[in-house]
């Protein structure tokens, strides 16, 4: 099944992008690919465009926003496009030349205008396009540049931005506040055009669509295939990661069920990607952290060793912590906001849906919504339920609504030329930030009288949304002055009586580290996470197959870390033998209990 020489690494072009649904192993595949090419004598730069990159963690060193050599892998360097560092450098490029020439108050005003999440996105995008166009020959010495991207929705947005900005500039400069002084636009326009050219050239760019062997992940890369083919990225490969090898026998019901479920998904791959070159990578017994583990990812899996007796006892003694207990506490308030947050691929959508369905089944009206650009709520629920409203904060729809509202209000007193200028300004990609924030604020307000459950986008995208919420709060506070009475969306998020933040994770090193980092970020913003949910736990499911048993043992350290160090309250959801799709299946997750059983 597995291959030591993946087809997507055969005669690779200069640029290789790895994208897919969160949690499918993009970073592991990208890091293993970079190592393979570097050990073949190539000079390789591995770039992460994920706002919550963990490339540094995989290699065991601090990377950040500068090109950093990986000492243990000669020929390999890495770069993490850190949004905050990129934004700070971007602001300085704009403000620095006029500092001392303009009054301090005006400098402060410019700096404030460039402090929002829109500037952060544009700054990160600037870094990304500069690597593709390479106007300063910063990456000229590398044979290959590999991009480990953010989860799919964010990546599509990033890859479409060069075309969006090029079109925006071609059709008129409009409101260029996010891009800086008008004098710099011609240079940026040329760089963006160079990025578009590189992306659409199959001799220079290859797209690797990474998935797991499940219907949702395969359906998502099929959608990604269509969207990115439309912008000229036609040279595409598929990698299905973490495929369970054929069980040696059928004595473990969980292993047998997972194997047949994955094989059924692989047998019904969407037609649009069925003909693409495809590699299957076997599930390994260890987490992909460290050079030794990552370098073995493309090798055939070795038979796992038996778990130690002490490990088996520890698995059997996992504390009972059902999701139902958390829902009891949520329900006691009668209404409020529940936000499920975490790394992509940990099951936020499933957990959010399970909480919402359980509350409806207990007699409440519930609004379940998502801010994820790659939302899958309707696929997860696969049906309708009385008293459950399901929606999506769609960036395009929110932007169109916002533009129409602004044109109707501000454009009412303008002449034709003025309305045309206003309409052009509102075509800026930055308009989307404001529109999504306003839709998010409306949903928060609704939670004053009913339960609202939000399935958020993966961590980095969510942090940008919360940053916009904080910027709005600071602006309102400045305008209202001391002593004024007001309530902003941020204040509702900070009030534990109104908002319960649920951090969703898997019992693996990277998701737990990222959730812990998110918890720290939230606390700095005055928002205290309420509970953690450890989803799809193998240890709680107590498998007997050797490979799954070894992976279950590997979970124990992370489960102990969550319940002992990180969470005030937590729940554990065992990995199920059936995929949690449909109202009944999703609702049953709220009642699943990791029941102790005799040691095998």
For the annotated catalytic residues, the residue numbers are 23, 25-28, 50, 510
Question: How, if at all, do strands 44-48 and 366-370 pair?
Answer: unpaired
Q: What gap in Å lies between CA 453 and CA 534, rounded to an integer?
A: 18
Question: How, if at all, do strands 236-243 and 144-148 pair?
Answer: unpaired
DSSP string, 189-229: HHHHHHHHHHHT-TTTEEEEEEEESSHHHHHHHHHHHHHHH
Q: What gap in Å lies between CA 532 and CA 530, rounded to an integer?
A: 7
| Alpha helix ranges (H) inside 393-458 | 395-410, 416-425, 431-446
> 140 burial class (0-12, 13-18, 19+ CB within 10 angstroms)?
exposed
Q: What gap in Å lies between CA 507 and CA 533, rounded to an integer?
A: 10
Q: What gap in Å lies between CA 120 and CA 314, rounded to an integer?
A: 45
**How many residues are present in the chain?**
600
- Token pair belonging to 165: 């900005």
Tell me if 243 sits within 8 A of 294, measured CB to CB.
no
Q: What gap in Å lies between CA 457 and CA 455, rounded to an integer?
A: 7
Q: What gap in Å lies between CA 504 and CA 384, rounded to an integer?
A: 24
Q: What gap in Å lies between CA 476 and CA 492, rounded to an integer?
A: 14
Tell me if 316 sits within 8 A of 597, measured CB to CB.
yes
Q: What gap in Å lies between CA 351 and CA 377, rounded to an integer?
A: 11
Question: How, if at all, do strands 236-243 and 278-282 pair?
Answer: parallel
With both helix axes pointing from N to C terminus, report the angle between 152-170 and 459-480 in degrees, rounded to the nearest 10.
60
- Token pair belonging to 452: 């609202």
The DSSP bridge partners found for residue 549 are none
- Token pair belonging to 474: 């600071």
The DSSP bridge partners found for residue 146 are 16, 46
With both helix axes pointing from N to C terminus, report the angle between 117-133 and 83-95 in degrees, rounded to the nearest 10.
90
Question: How, if at all, do strands 68-69 and 76-80 pair?
Answer: antiparallel
- Token pair 């190592």 in the structure block, residue: 35
Q: What gap in Å lies between CA 465 and CA 447, rounded to an integer?
A: 18
């Amino acid at each position: 099944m597995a291959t030591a020489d993946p087809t997507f690494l055969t005669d690779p072009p200069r640029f290789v992008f790895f994208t897919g649904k969160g949690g499918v192993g993009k970073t592991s595949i990208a890091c293993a690919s970079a190592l393979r090419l570097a050990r073949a004598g190539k000079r390789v730069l591995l770039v992460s465009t994920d706002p919550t990159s963990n490339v540094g963690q995989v290699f065991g060193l601090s990377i950040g926003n500068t090109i950093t050599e990986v000492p243990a892998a000669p020929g390999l360097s890495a770069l993490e496009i850190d949004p905050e560092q990129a934004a700070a450098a971007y602001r300085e490029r704009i403000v620095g030349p006029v500092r001392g020439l303009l009054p301090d108050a005006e400098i402060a005003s410019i700096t404030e205008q460039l402090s929002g999440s829109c500037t952060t996105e544009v700054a990160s995008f600037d870094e990304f396009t500069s690597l593709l166009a390479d106007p300063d020959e910063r990456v000229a010495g590398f044979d290959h540049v590999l991009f480990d991207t953010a989860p799919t929705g964010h990546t599509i947005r990033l890859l479409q931005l060069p075309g969006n900005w090029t079109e925006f500039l071609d059709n008129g400069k409009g409101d260029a506040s996010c891009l800086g002084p008008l004098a710099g636009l011609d240079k940026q326009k040329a760089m963006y055009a160079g990025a578009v050219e590189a992306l659409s050239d199959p001799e220079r760019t290859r797209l690797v669509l990474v998935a797991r062997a499940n219907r949702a992940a395969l359906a998502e890369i099929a959608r990604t295939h269509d969207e990115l083919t439309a912008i000229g990225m036609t040279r595409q490969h598929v990698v299905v990661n973490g495929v369970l090898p054929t069980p040696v026998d059928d004595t473990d019901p969980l292993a047998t069920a997972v194997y047949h479920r994955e094989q059924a998904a692989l047998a019904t791959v969407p037609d649009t990607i069925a003909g693409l070159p495809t590699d299957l990578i076997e599930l390994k017994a260890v987490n992909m952290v460290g050079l030794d583990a990552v370098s073995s990812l493309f090798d055939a899996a070795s038979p796992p060793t038996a778990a130690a007796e002490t490990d088996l006892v520890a698995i059997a003694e996992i504390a009972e912590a059902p999701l139902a207990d958390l829902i009891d506490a949520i329900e006691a308030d009668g209404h409020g906001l529940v936000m499920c947050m975490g790394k992509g691929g940990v099951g936020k959508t499933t957990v959010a849906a399970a909480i919402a369905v359980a509350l409806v089944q207990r007699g409440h009206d519930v609004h379940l919504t998502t801010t994820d650009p790659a939302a899958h709520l309707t696929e997860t629920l696969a049906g309708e339920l009385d008293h459950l409203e399901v929606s999506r904060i769609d960036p395009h729809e929110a932007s169109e609504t916002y533009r129409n509202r602004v044109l109707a209000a501000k454009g009412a007193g303008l002449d034709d030329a003025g309305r045309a200028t206003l309409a052009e300004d509102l075509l800026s990609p930055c308009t989307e930030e404001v529109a999504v924030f306003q839709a998010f604020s409306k949903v928060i307000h609704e939670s004053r009288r009913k339960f609202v459950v939000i399935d958020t986008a993966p961590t980095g995208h969510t942090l940008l949304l919360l940053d916009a919420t904080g910027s709005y709060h600071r602006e309102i506070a400045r305008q209202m002055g001391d002593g004024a009475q007001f309530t902003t969306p941020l204040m509702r998020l900070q009030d534990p009586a109104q908002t319960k933040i649920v951090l969703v994770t898997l019992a693996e090193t990277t998701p737990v580290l990222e959730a812990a980092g998110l918890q720290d970020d939230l606390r700095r913003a005055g928002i205290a996470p309420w509970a953690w949910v450890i989803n799809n736990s193998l240890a709680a499911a107590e498998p007997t197959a050797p490979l799954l048993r070894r992976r279950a043992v590997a979970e124990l350290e992370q489960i102990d870390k969550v319940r002992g160090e990180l969470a005030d309250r937590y729940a554990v959801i065992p990995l199920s033998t059936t995929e949690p799709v449909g109202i009944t299946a999703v609702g049953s997750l709220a009642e699943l209990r990791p029941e102790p059983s005799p040691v095998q």
